[in-house]
Structures are given as structure tokens and as C-alpha cells.
Chain A
């Protein structure tokens, strides 16, 4: 027979070896295989009391299991399990010939929200009856209600459950709202639109009159009501991100980019005082730089950028002061990132000048060969190598940029930042220094230690 490889936590499903003994009524006759005399209509084998109780954490419970007389079992043939684990016989008590009780003390919160499974078994392990225990705490007041309206058309609210959340029991949340000076309570219907603790009110919202909003949490043990939040729809307006974001170069300027966008269409006619924000980052960084003081223009120029770099740019909008509201609205989402690159600088050292590149490759090759030779034949030159040469070139670039040593020797061997390395090597490669002085890439001013 086929066997399924078990996934963790999932039961394996053995093929049913033979047809189960049951009577199908309301089935096509071909499926009711057994003659009626062999099918016995079985009443519930046993009854547990209390059946499906709800209890506070820490409380105690005495449950009884009474076997039906049809089953010819006595109290001594019974045992209990809770969530699959056998309960100790010490906690049992025989209350009658067919009744066995069990005492449970200091109950912990239910292991699963469908209830803990307290089961009465016959000696051979068969299940006679079961009762689901719901052990938990009453709900806590929901907190942190916050709402926003998209383009003044709807209202979405979210909240947080009190403490860590569901108190072992399934908790139902209901968001209610009413206009401040009108009587009727309304109930929000569309839940989970913005996360598990959220609700969406799609229509029939009034402007200019504040709303009172609250959340009720209820479970089997009670109800808790949050504090009432009062808000005016116009104070919590948000809108779509600005569309048509374009980022382009500013002529040949290598450190600037120009950003343009459109006003979000849904509120286009009302956004006289909209505020915008831009954020940008370099391609391979995760750090965004934010430009705050964009005002209500729909264009902006970014300056102080790196040449020859790809930038990602996003814009968002705040419908500030809509309909004369004195408050800021809520920032929209960021627009989808737009990419653009600054022009590459011509003057940067080590630029992509092909002629220079060729020279560099030949030079590097020669240098590598040279250093290899030096290592073999000179003593104490272990630090000398192509890496050192590269470090020198980087340093050279930096000092060229600083441009404050025009006319001076760009370096001396002693002023090199890694002078210590040389020192550790016991001086500049011993007696060969004189030879080095004459090498073409070291300026004539190289002094010896």
C-alpha cells in the first residue's frame, strides 16, 4: 500500500485497510454493504460533564465520565487523557459503578484555540467521549487605534490588541463608529484589509463632523472596549504617491540630478498646500537621504551628488491643509523608485581613458615581474609587491584631489602612510634602495631612510 512521506507535524494517512463498520442512510444502496442486522445504531458511548466548559487560567476542574449501560464497562475500565497525554491515576476518583472523575488543578491556558481535548477512554484505548476545555483570560482593551482616509473616500483603521494579544482564546474584534452628535452606532464589516487588526469602511462617510471610533474585543470570557478615538476625516487624509516621477541629468553637471513629478490625480484640484518629500540613495547602499524642504513644487534639483553613479529616487506626498484643515495629513507611500545616473567626471584619476588604461596594464605587468624578481634577490623586501603599488596609487589619487601640494613632491617614501611597514622590514629593502631610486615611477625626490 502507498505510504506518504510525513511532513513535519502532519499526520501520515494510512490507507483504510477495510471498510469501516457503519450504516449509510441517504447513500446509494450500492455503498451500504452490510446487512442491517450487523449495523447497530450506537448511542453516545459515554457522557462527560462539564461538556466544553470555559475557564479562567489557574482555575481547577473536576470532570466526570459516565459510560452508557450498553457498553458493559465499569469505572475501573476507564482512563483520561488531556491533549493526548494520559492523566495520572492519582487524580481519578470513582463516583459510581460507571462513573469516573478526574481532578485538574491550576489549569494553564489552552494549548490550541479550538480547546484542550479532555478525553475519556476505555481500557483498550478506544475513545468513549471528549470535552473541549477553553482556558484563558478575558480580553484586554485594544489600544493604539489609528485611521487614515484615502482621498477622503473611505476610512481604514488599525489597532493593536492589549498585552501580547489573543489570551489563549479566540478573540473577535469589532470596530464601531458614530458621528459625534448623532445617535447611531455603526459596525465596520470589512476586516483584515491592512493586517490582522484592521478594518475598512468603504463609503457613506461624512466630512466636517468628527467621528467617534472604538474597538470591542470579545472572547468566551468577556468583552473589553477600547478608549474612544475622535477624529475628523479631513485630518487623516492620505493620497496616492505622486505619479510620473522623472529623474534626469542637468546638462553636463556631474553632481546634480533634476527630479520632476505630477500632483497625485485624485486630489489634484485640492492640493494647493501639498507637501512633498524626496528620498534618494546610491545604487549599492541601503541608506536613504531625505530632502525635506521641497514645499509644494513639483520639481526639485538634487545637488552634491557623486559623479558617474546610479541613484534611486522616490517621492511622496502629504495632502497638507486640505479643505482648510490646519493639520498635516498623512504621508502617502513612496513612489516606485526611479533610477538615473550622474555624468562621469573626466578629471577623476584612474578614469576610463583607454590610452591610459593600456599603459597601466603594461606597466602593471612589468611591475609584477619586477617585484617578483626583487623578492627573490633582495632581502627584507617581503612587503614589496603589487598590492603596495596599488595602495600607493589610491593614495596618489586622493592627494591629487586635495590639490594642496601643487609643486611639492607628491610623496616621499618616508611620508607614505604606511611608513611603519617599511620600518618593520628593516629599512627600505636594505642596500637595494639606491637602485630603486632610479626606477622610472618613483620621483627623483625619493629620500632614503
Chain B
């Protein structure tokens, strides 16, 4: 409590002191960024739209890539065995009750992890295809990168931490990586199929999130500095 000689009454001094103290401590407080941005609801909508767009783009990309792999990979009812090997991407398929019960954080984190891994795997895809294929792949990866960033944006606007670090490599199992070209083709097939499933699922995930978060909200974003 400051002891200042003066004519102010005790109450006013109290308030004044408090304000001084507050001002002095302000740099250490979390900076309050009052932004009039459209808030997480808007980002969720954008992310949803992006998944629909990617789903559309994937159809063309998958068509081109599977034609490059050749029959039977590009046949409509092709369904090869999915051998138990190191999966490059966590599966989108999940029990319904489990899915319903996911917290928002878990839901978003699952999406974020999945697409980060897909992005890594797509970038390592066979770059030997035709120029058209390489071009489509490059374009798709850019869009997918946008989706990953969009999900990250939603997570941070809701105050959730991003899943830690770059995607961990699956533990090396004996013969886990594709040891021959045909197995590699099957891996690529399943990668694209799993990506398709994820995009279907994400649309539902983001629809669900949309309902929980109001669309246009003035948010106070708390940025922790020095904490």
C-alpha cells in the first residue's frame, strides 16, 4: 500500500493504489486481444467447406493415380486385402458411440493428426508418374496443407493445444514398409481410400462442431505471454 502524503480520502487512495498496481503489473498479465473476428464458428464452416472441396478434388486425383497404377487397381470393385502392416494413417472408421462421445478437442485432434500424416505420405508418393499426375498431386497437397492449417486455426481459436510435434513415424516392424513394388501399389491404394473415408468423416465431424459453437461471436483471445 502506497503511503503518500496528500489530501485524498482513504477510499480514493485505495482505488488509485489498486489502479497503479494493476498498471504496473500489466505487462505480466495475459494480453487481452479483443478481436472482432468472426470467431471459431466461422472457421469451422470454412474447414467444413474445405473438406467438401477436397473430397471433390480427390475423386479426380484418385482416378488419375489409380489409372497410373493400372488394372486391377482402377477397377470399381477392387478390394484387396488390407494386411496388418504399419498403417501410414490412423483409420477414420470408428465405433459410432465412441465417435459421438468424442470431446471437441479429441475430435479436432484426430482430424489434425490424420491429415498431417496423409500429407506426409502423399508427398512421398511415387513421383514417377506423368507430368499431369505430378501436377495434380502437387495441387492437392497444397489444398490439403490448407486444411491442416484450417483445423489448427479452429483448435487454437477454441483454446486447444495442437497435437504435439511432427507426426511420429510408425514403429518399424519387420517387413513393415512396402518391400516390393506391388505391395507399395496396394499401400497407395489404401492410402487414397483411407483419405476418402477421412474426408467423409470430417464433414460429419465439422457439422457436429458447427452446431456446438455459435457462428458469429466476438471473442476475447487470451494470448499467454511469458507464461
On whether the two chains bind one another, the answer is yes
CB atoms of B91 and A31 under 8 A apart: yes
CB atoms of B128 and A51 under 8 A apart: no
- Which residues of the partner chain B approach A129 to less than 8 Å between Cβ atoms? 182
B20 CB, min distance to chain A CBs, angstroms: 50
CB atoms of B90 and A117 under 8 A apart: no
CB atoms of A114 and B185 under 8 A apart: yes
Cβ of A127 < 8 Å from any Cβ of B?
A: yes
CB atoms of B72 and A22 under 8 A apart: no
- Whether A22 touches B87, Cβ cut-off 8 Å, given contacts A13-B193, A117-B71, A132-B181, is yes
Cβ of A436 < 8 Å from any Cβ of B?
A: no
CB atoms of A31 and B182 under 8 A apart: no
Query: By the criterion of a CB under 8 Å from any partner CB, how many residues of chain B are at the interface?
Result: 50
A122 CB, min distance to chain B CBs, angstroms: 10
- Whether A23 touches B84, Cβ cut-off 8 Å, given contacts A28-B110, A114-B69, is yes
- Whether A19 touches B59, Cβ cut-off 8 Å, given contacts A11-B66, A132-B182, is no
A residues 94-141 touching B (CB-CB < 8 Å): 111-117, 119, 126-127, 129-132
CB atoms of B72 and A81 under 8 A apart: yes
* B75 (CB) vs chain A CBs: closest residue: A84
Among B142-150, B167-175, B209-217, the stretch in contact with A:
B167-175
Cβ of A26 < 8 Å from any Cβ of B?
A: yes
Interface string of B23-44 (1 = CB under 8 A from A): 0000000000000000000000
CB atoms of A11 and B75 under 8 A apart: yes
* A15 (CB) vs chain B CBs: closest residue: B200
Cβ of A20 < 8 Å from any Cβ of B?
A: yes
B56 CB, min distance to chain A CBs, angstroms: 10
CB atoms of A30 and B83 under 8 A apart: no
Among A39-47, A341-349, A427-435, the stretch in contact with B:
A39-47
B94 CB, min distance to chain A CBs, angstroms: 6
A47 CB, min distance to chain B CBs, angstroms: 10
- Which residues of the partner chain A approach B66 to less than 8 Å between Cβ atoms? 10-11
CB atoms of A30 and B98 under 8 A apart: yes
A293 to B225, CA, bound (A): 72
B residues 133-158 touching A (CB-CB < 8 Å): none
CB atoms of B91 and A84 under 8 A apart: no
Cβ of B48 < 8 Å from any Cβ of A?
A: no
A83 to B185, CA, bound (A): 13
Interface string of B164-202 (1 = CB under 8 A from A): 000010110001000011110110000001001100100
- Which residues of the partner chain A approach B81 to less than 8 Å between Cβ atoms? 42, 45, 126-127
CB atoms of B182 and A117 under 8 A apart: yes
Cβ of A192 < 8 Å from any Cβ of B?
A: yes
- Whether A10 touches B63, Cβ cut-off 8 Å, given contacts A45-B81, A83-B71, A119-B72, is yes
A14 to B130, CA, bound (A): 27
Cβ of A354 < 8 Å from any Cβ of B?
A: no
Q: Which residues of B contact A (CB under 8 A)?
A: 59-60, 62-63, 66-78, 80-84, 86-87, 90-91, 93-95, 98, 110, 126, 128-131, 168, 170-171, 175, 180-183, 185-186, 193, 196-197, 200
Q: Which residues of A contact B (CB under 8 A)?
A: 2, 4, 6-7, 9-16, 19-28, 30-31, 33, 39-45, 48, 51-52, 81, 83-85, 111-117, 119, 126-127, 129-132, 170, 192, 196
- Interface pairs A-B: 7 shortest CB-CB: A10-B63, A84-B71, A130-B182, A112-B70, A84-B72, A132-B181, A52-B181
